[in-house]
Structure 1
Amino acid sequence: MIGRLQGTIVEKLPPDIVLDVGGVGYEIQLPMTSFYQLPEVQGSVLLYTHFVVREDAQLLFGFIDRQERSLFRILIKANGVGPKLACTILSGMSAKQFMQAVMHEDITALVKMPGVGKKTAERLVVELKDKLKDIEAPLHSYVPEGNIEPVDVAPILAPVASSKDEAISALVALGYKRAQAENAINKVLTDDASSEQLIRDALKSMV
């Protein structure tokens, strides 16, 4: 089990990054709530991770703090919820917002997430309401103790894409249909917005 990784970000393509750890590049997918808190490329970061092994893939998910990872692990144990859907849920609302929605049985808020229908939302409330009491609240972001020494590595060159294209691709990767993603991005599109800002604004508009 890979529990945490500390290294230098060499590529950011939301919701994924490549993290250089001692010369090894780890591909990691993060919920957008964690992605927003990352430093720029060449910045150093510590991530708490969860490693998923499937017959067709090995996937690594990263989180800025332990509590968000704890919530992710509780989510994927719920009936009908896999890692991708859990990551999508934690991208559409903060961990605190999700916990409040479950505790207050707010089905309307939950069904706005892609892949979460009414039955799934109701099941999440029933299965998770008691389990979420074990997670500390409010959730706080991880603040590193001391400075993390940067690693001198060259950034990985990725094909140049517009902020709009990157934002649409990120939403599709999170489970939204392309037409839905394009519509949401077009509604919040501005000339100077970064892909991360477009994603943030689009997700807010859909919640």
Structure 2
Amino acid sequence: MISRLKGTILARQVDQIEIETASGVVYEVYVPLSVLERIPEHLVLEFEVYTLQVVRDDSIKLYGFIESKERELFKRLLGATGVGPKMALAMLSTYSYVRLIKALMEKDVGALTQVSGVGKKRAERIALELVDKVEDLADGSDLTSGVLGESSQEAVAALVSLGYSFVDADAAVRSVTEVEDITNTDDLIRVVLSQQ
């Protein structure tokens, strides 16, 4: 089992990197977009990633993460019915570690259905299976501002019906509610639209 790799990043692609170790072996490591965005674009000596080796009948692949807690979340996602490495990677590419845990803990089916390949029934099942399994991964200080109130959820739904993507609508509503204390759905929508 390969649990970490340290070396030079030789190449970056949309969903993977190549790391050359000190011994000259080059490993292909699949990474979510949330991880790829934090990896410097230029060659980096002594870059380290936490890895999870996934063995299937037809392949052996390495999945990489900057923090061990991201790897642990990936493992738990794989434990849900119908979630394979590709879908788990898509979930961590769509949302940050903290936002994905929030979605799972809140059973936010709307957020989960924004992940490619996740329909409503699958999102409900994933949320149901993982809600209790991710609590220990949640850092309370990171999650306190993550629960959207009813008016905020309604505002997100309204913005989606106006053509916003769920991710953009969710981010816009969260950015407004972090700065202003607005409890009325209509006022919240107005403020979000005025900032666009």
- Normalising by structure 2, report the TM-score: 0.69
Q: Give 1:64's match in structure 2, choosing from 59, 63, 66.
A: 66
Task: Give the aligned residue type for 1:14.
Answer: V
Identity %: 40
Residue 122 of structure 2 is matched in structure 1 by: 120
CA distance in structure 1 between the partners assigned to 2:141 and 2:69 by the alignment: 6
Question: What CA RMSD, in Å, does the superposition of the two structures yield over aligned residues?
Answer: 2.2
Counterpart check, 1:20 vs 2:25: no
Q: Give 1:101's match in structure 2, choosing from 100, 103, 123.
A: 103
**Which structure 1 segments of 5+ residues have no match?**
141-201
Task: Give the aligned residue type for 2:100.
Answer: F
Task: Give the aligned residue type for 2:89.
Answer: C
Say whether the 8 Å CA contact 1:14–1:32 is kept in structure 2.
Answer: yes
Residue 44 of structure 2 is matched in structure 1 by: 43
Following TM superposition, by how much is the alpha carbon of 1:42 offset from its aligned partner in structure 2, in angstroms?
Answer: 1.7
Say whether the 8 Å CA contact 2:51–2:62 is kept in structure 1.
Answer: yes
Which structure's relative contact order is higher, taking Cα pairs within 8 Å and 6+ residues apart?
1
Residue 55 of structure 1 is matched in structure 2 by: 57
Counterpart check, 1:11 vs 2:8: no
CA distance in structure 1 between the partners assigned to 2:7 and 2:32 by the alignment: 18
Residue 155 of structure 1 is matched in structure 2 by: none
Say whether the 8 Å CA contact 1:88–1:114 is kept in structure 2.
Answer: yes
CA distance in structure 1 between the partners assigned to 2:86 and 2:98 by the alignment: 19
Say whether the 8 Å CA contact 1:11–1:41 is kept in structure 2.
Answer: no
Residue 198 of structure 1 is matched in structure 2 by: none
Structure 1 residues 41 and 10, CA gap change in structure 2 (3 angstroms): farther
- Normalising by structure 1, report the TM-score: 0.66
Residue 34 of structure 2 is matched in structure 1 by: 33
DSSP 3-state at the match of 2:134:
helix
Task: Give the aligned residue type for 1:74.
Answer: R
Structure 1 residues 139 and 116, CA gap change in structure 2 (3 angstroms): farther
DSSP 3-state at the match of 1:88:
helix
Residue 79 of structure 2 is matched in structure 1 by: 77
Structure 1 residues 128 and 69, CA gap change in structure 2 (3 angstroms): same
Following TM superposition, by how much is the alpha carbon of 1:40 offset from its aligned partner in structure 2, in angstroms?
Answer: 2.4
Structure 1 residues 204 and 19, CA gap change in structure 2 (3 angstroms): farther
DSSP 3-state at the match of 1:131:
coil
CA distance in structure 2 between the partners assigned to 1:72 and 1:62 by the alignment: 10
CA distance in structure 2 between the partners assigned to 1:138 and 1:122 by the alignment: 24
Say whether the 8 Å CA contact 1:12–1:41 is kept in structure 2.
Answer: no
Say whether the 8 Å CA contact 2:8–2:19 is kept in structure 1.
Answer: yes
Aligned length: 146
Task: Give the aligned residue type for 2:27.
Answer: Y
* Structure exhibiting the larger radius of gyration computed from Cα positions: 2
Counterpart check, 1:130 vs 2:132: yes
CA distance in structure 2 between the partners assigned to 1:205 and 1:105 by the alignment: 19
